[in-house]
Chain A
């Protein structure tokens, strides 16, 4: 099984790296990192704050863009070009196909993010910054976040067209980035005595089904020297990401199994 999944993942990676959009995104990301020095020069006080912020944002956005633009067409393209018939006619389970596709795209995104991160980490000390553990941890946390978003994109891609998948994945990404507001909102509703039990229940469900992507945002710790969470806490966050991705891939498999070709 592992060899089949790896073969699918490597083929997906090879296919994805041929996509010119990927290189365009990477070039834009590298340009943003280089441009950060100019922005930092316009700032008063600590220009490195701007450079670090721009670098971390560029890496995160690059990963999110790859997830949405490449990930959402991943399964659909196979069906559209009918290459899926060739694959599924071989002794490959549908779950293995989904997992292989997912891992291939995760590999692609990680390689791109690693290239941009390396560029940023090489550029940052040249501007007088210091590469430290929180900065590296923030970059790794972005990569875990991208792994979660790709799983969402693959799930939608197995069920819908690329455009709809891109829209749904973007909505889930936005909801995931803002889901930490839901408890505050529910508390406000309770305080104002508005919104019945139904609305509260819907919000509660929404809170649990959307990925809490905010936990992968370690920017504040890396840039503002806020104390880093302990290693155990970081491991729990990674475990949360892995579990959420697993749930998404299981859903994708279930949907994909019901599709008839």
Chain B
């Protein structure tokens, strides 16, 4: 209705129905604003209540196989959503004081049941289960289940090995690494290098040498090659020292006196264990053993180089009849000196003067022990009560030959660590052939062996 058509309405005033409509609109807008405010408040209230709820109520989940049935084949997206839920669950529980993760394993189980070939939940789930609730058994079970469903996934087995290594269960870790080596092609050279390291720690030198040789033969990248070469040298040095010690004992048992020197020992002929076959010299016996581990062409070079050790130094026949690698001993001495120098530095800082002798350092260690200040790292190196570690050469007067200059130990004269680690050595190469690219043993060592 037009306002000009109403003769009763005074001019300049709005009709009643319009003002009523405006009022109604205002009222509605007010109600809308009020309702919205109320909704916001209620929403916050519900959200706060939900957050305060124990996760058991929030996290009710059916079993994976039941859920698979309900998803009608869209189990992949369901697995993704539950995986994201597990991430949120971890985030939320990490903020809690008690940090309980009692539903974490179930979330991973449901995720992996829904999408059994998705590798991430097994790997990441095992890390989190092991790190947060520190439930190693469940972490390992998750990985085992993952490997049952994805038998070729070496990364999962490597994860299992790493978890065991973190907990100091190296023997168990080695089993997983061996499983990868034997049954899972396509793994990176890191696996072999780690396995070799663990074998060395467990004194399984033949397998360590075989692994390192195999790894070198596979032609690893530049960085891994340096690791493999280092492992190869150490495995070879330790294997030969152990074997030569064994032959030295056999020599003493058969002759009644120790060998005069290593040259004599290497020339001595022994029959095979068990009495069969023709007698062969110790050098030939060692060649046959090395040939099985590194290949015949490399083995012949290595055997010819004896008594040179893999570090460009020589094996040494001790007075007790044991054989050690001078290179290994020197490297070990280098490591010990580095550790002890840290403590000598601390001594100088605390006492305000450098140590005058190693006896003073020993006294300092004992003081720390008595006052309960010995750290676990120091206790690992020195023992309880602390004692200076034995000299690697086995010489009781060995430490007296190490010079102490300005309160710090210095390496005795001889080749540097770098020189020892780059000493020429016959080793398998990546081109396939055993001797291809093999560095020639030093002429000095060859001459000595001849």
Contact = CB atoms under 8 A, between A and B. Distances in A.
A44 B80 contact: no
B72 interface: yes
Contacts of B84: 39, 42-43, 50
Contacts of B115: 220, 224
Say whether chain B's binding surface is mostly helix, strand, loop, or mixed. helix
Nearest to A51: B80
A178 interface: yes
B46 interface: no
Given A44-B87, A46-B120, A53 B69 contact: no
B274 interface: no
B80 A49 contact: yes
B123 A220 contact: no
A6 interface: no
Contacts of A39: 80-81, 84
Contacts of A173: 72
B124 to A, nearest CB: 5
B119 interface: yes
A189 B76 CA distance: 28
A144 to B, nearest CB: 14
B73 A177 contact: yes
Interface residues of B, number: 21
Contact of B69 (A43, A44, A181, A219): A181
Contacts of A223: 76, 118
Interface string A31-71: 00000000100111110011001101100110000000000
A214 B75 CA distance: 12
A226 interface: yes
A214 B73 contact: yes
A167 interface: no
Interface residues of A, number: 27
A178 B117 contact: no
B77 interface: yes
A206 interface: no
A224 B73 contact: no
Contacts of B118: 49, 223-224
Nearest to A42: B84
A45 B80 contact: no
A53 B124 contact: no
Contacts of A96: none
B94 interface: no
Given A224-B117, A224-B118, A224-B119, A43 B76 contact: no
A173 B72 CA distance: 9
A214 B68 CA distance: 13
Contact of A44 (B76, B79, B124): B124
B39 interface: no
Given A44-B124, A45-B124, A224-B119, A57 B77 contact: yes
B73 A45 contact: no
A149 interface: no
B120 A45 contact: yes
Contacts of B119: 224
B86 to A, nearest CB: 9
A58 to B, nearest CB: 9
Given A42-B84, A54-B80, A49 B120 contact: yes
Nearest to A226: B117
A45 B72 contact: no
Contact of B72 (A44, A53, A178, A224): A178
A42 B90 CA distance: 12
A213 interface: yes
Interface string B114-148: 01011111011000000000000000000000000
A116 to B, nearest CB: 15
B247 interface: no
B123 A53 contact: no
Interface in A194-213: 213
Interface in A159-212: 173-174, 177-178, 181
B80 A50 contact: yes
B77 A53 contact: yes
Contacts of A43: 80, 83-84, 87
A182 B417 CA distance: 69
B377 to A, nearest CB: 33
B307 to A, nearest CB: 53
A17 to B, nearest CB: 27
Contact of B76 (A46, A56, A181): A56
Given A49-B118, A220-B117, A224-B117, A174 B77 contact: no
B120 A219 contact: no
A46 B87 CA distance: 13
A226 B118 CA distance: 9
A39 B85 CA distance: 11
A220 B121 CA distance: 15
A220 B76 contact: yes
Interface in A203-252: 213-214, 217, 219-220, 223-224, 226
Interface of B: 69, 72-74, 76-77, 79-81, 83-84, 87-88, 115, 117-121, 123-124
17 contacts: A39-B81, A42-B84, A44-B120, A45-B123, A45-B124, A46-B120, A50-B84, A53-B77, A53-B80, A57-B76, A60-B74, A174-B72, A178-B69, A178-B72, A223-B76, A223-B118, A224-B119
Given A53-B76, A213-B73, 11 more contacts: A39-B81, A42-B84, A42-B88, A49-B118, A53-B80, A54-B77, A57-B74, A177-B73, A178-B73, A223-B118, A224-B115
List the 5 closest pairs (A to B, CB-CB), nearest first.
A45-B120, A224-B117, A177-B73, A53-B76, A57-B77
